[in-house]
Amino acid sequence: GLRAGAVVERVRVVFDVLVAALGVVLLRLAVLEADFDVFDTFS
């Protein structure tokens, strides 16, 4: 039971890290898209 709990904890930590990384990537993509839209408007 202890080992299974440790595995679940590890998976949960990895999942949190992946979700955070994905959030950062999506945020950067959104910012880039917004920047490109602004550039298109000015040019």
In the prediction, which pLDDT does 17 show? 98
Tally of domains within the chain? 1
**pLDDT top residue among 24 and 43:** 24
- Which pLDDT tens digit goes with each residue over 9-35? 999 999 999 999 999 999 999 988 888
Q: How many angstroms separate the CA atoms of 2 and 26, rounded?
A: 36
Give the DSSP H or E segment for 35.
helix 2-42
In the prediction, which pLDDT does 23 show? 96
In the prediction, which pLDDT does 34 show? 82
Structural domain for 41, as ranges: 1-43
In the prediction, which pLDDT does 43 show? 61
Name the residue with tokens 């550039």: 39
Name the residue with tokens 């999942």: 15
In the prediction, which pLDDT does 22 show? 97
Q: How many angstroms separate the CA atoms of 16 and 40, rounded?
A: 36
